[in-house]
Structure 1
Amino acid sequence: MGNLPWVTYWIEIADYAFLATLMYGYFKIQDKDRRIKDRLFQSANWDALTHVQNYAAYDRAIGYHFSRSLIRHNNLTMAMFDIDHFKCVNDTYGHLAGDEVLKQVSSTVVDVLKEKDEQIVLYRTGGEEFNVIFPGYTVAQAQPLVQEFFDRVKALRIPYNDVELNVTISVGVSSLHRTDHNPLDFYKRVDSHLYRSKKMGRQQITLE
């Protein structure tokens, strides 16, 4: 009977060790689950090539800003641009060259926007198509930023193998109208301004 307390003692140690192992395993599973969720969130919201937010993220953001701006009577402006003659870059130099152009252009635009206001976000919404949402901005307030990233992209010299690529963009810009029934109405108007820029010879900005 004198040995019983020691037996009990070792049983308790074993129980604690078993519990600690269970807890360690639980937290490892939780950590792995969190990392998986983080990766899924990244893949669902961010473009893997350019590292800017993607169409799914844009769709949620424009829905939020559209409703908020109408309810609070806030300004909202959007720019849409695509890279001029992008298919020609792919056809002439290959898709890896096109990828490098997409990365350099998006990085340049992001740098311009961050210098001014981190609330302004660039989204890759198509192959070579991008949208920029300007919460709280009128077209007149957004215009200098649009002009700045337009000029910086034009000045880019993108080295690829033994050549140096330079590209331009066409841009459409518009503000939210109180007669817009939904974000698609807003999107279509901005898109129509982009189309006008392309129709008029590309490498230009069409403002509302």
Structure 2
Amino acid sequence: MLAHMLTVIVFTLLGGLGYTVLFGLLENFSAKRAAAKHTVGQFQQALPLVIAVSLLLIAMRVINKAANAQGMQEYWLLINLQLLIMMYTDLMIDSFFAFLILKIVDGITFAATGAMTAVVWLVFIIVGLALFYESHYARGWSPDNPWLFALPPLVIDAGFWLVIRLAYHTQWYLVIINFVSFTIAMLVIFFNGRSQRSSEQVMARLTHETQFDALSGVRNWAMFQNDLTKAYAKATTDKPLGVMTFDLDHFKSINDEHGHLAGNAALKAAAQGLDAMLQNADPHYHVYRTGGEEFAVILPNTTCTQAKQIGLNALACMRGLQVATQAGTLNLTASFGMTLAQVDDRDATMTFRRADQALYLAKNAGRDRLAIDKNILPA
């Protein structure tokens, strides 16, 4: 009896944890697929997950049918695990249509047992809807809230096993051990999930600190090096790569005349204002802070004509930015240098240096203007 009890607990625990890992992998795959195909609908995004979980439930029913022929202990163990999978899915899935499809598949697999009467179907749907509704609309619901995440499935599972006991006169031993194993698995899933999310939040903060400039809020020099190298490796004649650099004009004078707080505000306004403009043009465009008042922009898959227009838009955007100081409103301007990667460039550094040289041409020509390679556009 002890050996069987441990087997049920371990099997349910490992099966439940394994499913949460699979569910997370399927969610990530679905999200990446949706991003690649520019899919925005929740159901379309969840489709790979729905297909995989449906196949898993059908496979479990096939296994359960074979287990039923061998003995009731294995049969009820698999039923219990399927309940755990169903309720976890009801709580975690986002799309209502995906939820409905999986509910139908759940019902069909249980109907194959011969136990799905009209009343059971009704209870089955109501319970599933209750879990889905709770996870989407209940105030304070979170997978980190034990009362709203773990407790409802435990109550439902207790009710299920009580009904099984009364309807089929199942041994109390089987009822209790399956409920205990469900409880242990659900609690371990809860604490494991909470621990993982906490670790992910810490990693996200650390990643942000190592990839973003604390003052301006845009990406930093390390990110620029990494992203430029990758973009340069992907660049072709059909998918040209542009690089734009810019400096705030008269930044030293701003610091000297208005103080470092005004200088910091100017840097932040310039970086974030231009980054917002670029993001509206193309989500792949980002501003990087590469030095004190020096910034750069990577323009992947951008032609010379497109890059020129982006540079002119950036020039106009910068002219529209203002910073409040004690002496009054300060109008910002910047000088821009731009180039496209060439076939004879040895590496990404050579492309970047050419953009930087164009920037100095713009500054020497009077600032507040754009230079593309050796050509200075009129102010």
User: What TM-score bracket applies, with the shorter chain setting the length?
Assistant: 0.7 to 0.9
Question: Normalising by structure 2, what TM-score?
Answer: 0.49
Q: Secondary structure at the match of 1:202?
A: coil
What letter is aligned with 2:343?
R
What letter is aligned with 1:64?
K
State how 1:155-174 maps to structure 2 within 5 Å. Answer: 155-174=320-339
RMSD over equivalenced CA pairs, Å:
2.4
What letter is aligned with 1:27?
G
Q: Displacement of 1:34 after TM fit?
A: 0.8
In structure 2, the residue matched to 1:140 is 305
After superposition, the C-alpha distances for 1:53-81 in whole angstroms (9 at most, x for unaligned) are 211221111111101114x7521111100
* Contact persistence 1:113–1:120 (CA under 8 A): yes
After superposition, the C-alpha distances for 1:145-196 in whole angstroms (9 at most, x for unaligned) are 2112212212323212352111211111111100011111111111111111
- The separation in 2 between residues aligned to 1:107 and 1:64, in whole angstroms, is 23
State how 1:1-208 maps to structure 2 within 5 Å. Answer: 23-70=189-236, 73-208=238-373
After superposition, the C-alpha distances for 1:4-52 in whole angstroms (9 at most, x for unaligned) are x99xx99998887677665544333222211111111111212222222
- The separation in 2 between residues aligned to 1:148 and 1:114, in whole angstroms, is 12
- Cα 1:152–1:11 change in 2 (3 A) is closer
- The separation in 1 between residues aligned to 2:269 and 2:260, in whole angstroms, is 14
What letter is aligned with 2:324?
P
Q: Secondary structure at the match of 1:48?
A: coil
- The separation in 2 between residues aligned to 1:19 and 1:47, in whole angstroms, is 43
* Contact persistence 1:75–1:175 (CA under 8 A): yes
Q: Secondary structure at the match of 2:246?
A: strand
Query: Where does structure 1 lack aligned partners over 5 or more consecutive residues?
Result: none
Q: Displacement of 1:123 after TM fit?
A: 1.3
Q: Count how many residue pairs are aligned between Structure 1 and Structure 2.
A: 203
Q: Displacement of 1:206 after TM fit?
A: 0.9
Range with greater deviation from structure 2 (100-109 or 25-34)? 25-34
- The separation in 1 between residues aligned to 2:224 and 2:299, in whole angstroms, is 12
Q: Displacement of 1:144 after TM fit?
A: 1.5
Higher relative contact order (CA 8 A, sep 6+): 1
* Contact persistence 2:258–2:327 (CA under 8 A): no
**Percent of pairs identical after alignment?**
28
User: Higher strand share goes to which structure?
Assistant: 1
